[in-house]
A and B are shown apart, each in its own frame.
Chain A
Amino acid sequence: MVQWTDFERATIQSVFEKMDYDDVGPAALSRCLVVYPWTQRYFGNFGNLYNAAAIQGNPMVAAHGKTVLHGLDRAVKNMDDIKATYAELSVLHSEKLHVDPDNFRLLADCLTIVVAARMGAAFTADVQGAFQKFLAVVVSSLGKQYH
């Protein structure tokens, strides 16, 4: 089981409480599709992803970005058992969506960069540490049911 300090728990709750999901979700997913273009392989039916402008203006990308970000809510509310919380989602990503689990890490890195931009100086080294630890647990849990 993952051990969380009081600081880490408080930080995760606070960061997600203050987050504008409608802004951060789309920004993180579109950034991932631009910075790591091979991730576009999973979105063949999303229409125009031909260049950065098209990706950032694509409404399906935006909608999916919000969906994915809200997917983190359950982990935020169940920090003491993220592995069990995401068992079903892990199976879904493996068996149905066939997503290479390395993509979770890529998206997590983009999410970190976007949150850093939104929080500015408030995204201190300690906050970054807590945030990245949380995402690392999420990423690991989502990859757990792959076989």
Chain B
Amino acid sequence: MSLSAKEKVIVKDFFAKVSSRSDEIGAEALARLIVVYPQTKSYFAHWKDLSPNGAPVRKHGITVMGGVYEAVSKIDDLAGGLLTLSELHAFVLRVDPVNFKILSHCIMVVLSMLFAEEFTPQIHVAVDKFLALVALALAEKYR
């Protein structure tokens, strides 16, 4: 399920359009991840403050969204472009890849909430495919 040329344009255009609120999207998506899927908190046990609107969660959400934008810029070669991030997730963080799917869903819920008019089904399918491919690229070095 690779991205067509048209879908790559859709993804790049959409993320460019919403880039001014990317911090908000990231923070909100991560907050939802830990509230709606409490098992994900197991990766953040080292934070003193695990409240969804607390500083650590917001800051990390912004970091993660930065990674998503990096992926957008490397959309023509995700596996190659995200190699370092993949090594990080595989050898250091060891996040179970099932969580990539869960976070992708949370990101899309937030996109839908904040950009109801723009997040049409056509854009939804392209973004869904893109995030799935990002997840695959991140899992590249796992085994």
Contact = CB atoms under 8 A, between A and B. Distances in A.
Interface of A: 30-31, 34-35, 52, 55-56, 109, 112-114, 116-121, 123, 125-126, 128-129, 132
Contacts of B122: 34, 52
Given A34-B122, A52-B121, A116 B109 contact: yes
A128 B109 contact: yes
Interface of B: 31-32, 35-36, 52, 105, 108-110, 112-114, 116, 119-122, 124-125, 128
Given A117-B113, A117-B116, A125 B124 contact: no
A56 B125 CA distance: 14
Contacts of A109: 105
A113 B112 contact: yes
Question: From DSSP, what is the main secondary structure of chain B's interface residues?
Answer: helix
A123 B124 contact: no
Contacts of B114: 120
A117 B125 contact: no
Contact of A128 (B32, B116, B119, B124): B32
B124 A118 contact: no
Contacts of A112: 105, 109
A34 B112 contact: no
A125 B119 contact: no
Contact of B112 (A56, A116, A125, A129): A116
A123 B119 CA distance: 16
A123 B113 contact: yes
A120 B110 CA distance: 9
Which of A55, A113, A114: most chain B Cβ within 10 A? A113
A128 B108 contact: no
A56 B121 contact: yes
Contacts of A56: 121
Contacts of B109: 112-113, 116, 123, 128
Which one of B52, B120, B121 has the highest number of Cβ atoms from chain A below 10 Å of its Cβ? B121
A103 to B, nearest CB: 16
Contacts of B105: 109, 112
Residue of A116, A119, A120 with most partner-chain B CB within 10 A: A116
Nearest to B121: A34
